[in-house]
Amino acid sequence: MGEIIKGKPVADAITETLKTDVESLKAKGIEPTLKIVRVGAREDDLSYERGALKRMEKCGIAAEVLELPADICQTDFVKALKAVNDDASVHGILLFRPLPKQLDMEEIKFIVDPVKDIDCMNPLNAEKIFEGDKTGYPPCTPQACVEILDYYGVDLKGKNVAVVGRSMVVGKPLAMLLLGKNATVTICHSRTSDLPAVCRQNDVVVAAVGRAEMVKGNFIKDGAVVIDVGINVNSEGKLCGDVAFNECVEKASMITPVPAGVGSVTTSVLAKHVVKACKQINGIA
């Protein structure tokens, strides 16, 4: 049976490091500040917002929420977002997505200042990931996967890694981050021919396809590391990941649970990015 590697110890370790960084910034008269921009009041947004605010408080980071009406028009939204961009007291901007249908994301994604874009909404930050430019901000979930692997001592150098999922939210940026760790990466998806056989060839399998318990035990070779990014509800109405945990835990050497796995680390990565942005804006190495 594999070791169940939880996210909380990783999140706590990041938080402790950030506390020192934040104290150092405050000693210089600089207060790292996050601005959350939320349109409407979707329950999943509110849930993540509560977790983010709690994590910022633990790190000593100031956080503010700008709540905009669900029926806001494009012109008013753009005006509000530009005002946040121009606010010198704000170092990191988190815009909850998806936005209501009346808002044009194709315009909006370019508006957020790339320097303050701490969850990689602006394509300029996506470009930095693919270029290996460390001044950018990867999306928080892929970065959380890397933080977990680092914390638990998984050396990716020369290892074969399968990323199941090809979205720009997780799969593609995660593949680039793993390449940066000198892993050999295969990006898979729901239409990959003989997906179980492809995954079984890999030392690490990351499931980020958005389908409840899609990755079965026959996807995992003995001793592989399994990272489950998914958050779903199964046929019994229970929260689960993209991995059939009870099947895969018997074969894996390490495996993240759902809940209490990758999702537990994302707000700590968000805080890490706020501090990074604050340092970059203020010219601090």
Mean pLDDT by 10 residues, the chain (285 residues): 97 98 98 98 96 98 98 98 98 96 96 96 95 95 98 98 96 97 96 97 97 97 98 90 97 97 97 98 93
Asked: is 140-263 a CATH 3.40.366.10 domain? The reply is no
pTM: 0.96
Assess contact for 183 and 157: CB atoms under 8 A.
yes
- CATH 3.40.50.720 range(s) for the chain read 140-263
* Cβ–Cβ < 8 Å for 37, 93: yes
Residues 243 and 13: their CA atoms lie apart, in Å, by 26
pLDDT of residue 222: 98
Residue 103 has which token pair?
Answer: 């808002």
Domain with CATH 3.40.50.10860 in the chain: 29-113
Give me the sheet containing 225-228, strands edge to edge: 3-4, 254-255, 225-228, 204-207, 160-164, 184-188
pLDDT at 236: 86
CATH of 29-113, one of 3.40.720.10, 3.10.20.30, 3.20.20.80, 3.40.50.10860: 3.40.50.10860
pLDDT in the model for residue 255: 98
Locate 40 and state its tokens. 């409407």
Residue 211 has a pLDDT of: 95
